[in-house]
Amino acid sequence: MTDREILHFIEGKKFSKQLWSPIGRAMHKYNMIEEGDRIAVGISGGKDSLTTLNALIRIQKIARLSFEILPIHIHPNTDQSSYQKIKDYCEMLGLNLFVEHTNLEEILFHDENPVKNPCFLCGRIRRGILYRILQERKINKLALGHHKDDIIETFLMNVFYQGNLHMMKPSYYAEEYGVQVIRPLAFVEEKNIIRYVNRLALPVTKSDCPYEVSEQSRRLKMKHLIQEMARDNPNVRSTVFSSIEGLL
């Protein structure tokens, strides 16, 4: 595909207000992209990471900035077939997907002694692997696919379960690793990402993780709580986000 064809495909139709405008505001407010950046995109294969990848490619095509985009996938096992669609998609957009195979699946699900807090351990191991790759490849920024709903849910989880006001920030510097972490979708509502992904028929890969949809998941409980509150106040997400935006 030519640059023009890629841009036309990525932008889709009728997404300026719901997607590109809030992404642009977040990028501008937190100065997420600068000249000469080498930006890794954590690609899980889910809707959020693919939308983040598209957002960065769009900026690369229309902005007067020169920066690199490096998609990275941390794979939980040695099966290559499950991420082939993501690899093909990246190649269609002119990018090579870097894949790091791990034994995460074996550690979390096939050990004789089950892990008590698999989500925490999984996240910690993935981050360690990811930051190692960034250092080895001299990458200075990491783009993650967390969106507005994620930020709200994380805030409520910390309030209800941890007793603190810690936030999932749109941008922060991981000093230990020398990497700036950015979240271009920070101002985008999840429902608009779903619409976008469905409209473009992006090759979303469903997660096999049983904990992601477990009713014991605290994040899922927060999501259900917000959905319940939205029945009385359809603007509840924006209301909560507005109350914490100054702390981000």
99: left (phi over 0), alpha (psi -120 to 50) or beta: beta
Q: Which residues carry a binding-site annotation for ATP?
A: 42-44, 48, 74, 145, 150
Q: For residue 9, give the H/E element and its range.
A: helix 3-11
Q: Which residues carry a binding-site annotation?
A: 42-44, 48, 74, 145, 150
Q: Measure the CA dihedral 140/145/146/148, to 10°.
A: 120
23: left (phi over 0), alpha (psi -120 to 50) or beta: alpha
Hey, what are 27's tokens? Answer: 């990028």
Hey, what are 245's tokens? Answer: 């935006």
204, 83 contact by CB (below 8 A): no
39: which strand partners? Answer: 69, 141
CB contact burial 144-181 (16+ within 10 A = b; e otherwise): bbbbbbbbbbbbbbeeeeeeeeeebbbbeeeeebebbb
What are phi and psi for residue 210, nearest 5 degrees?
A: -70, -20
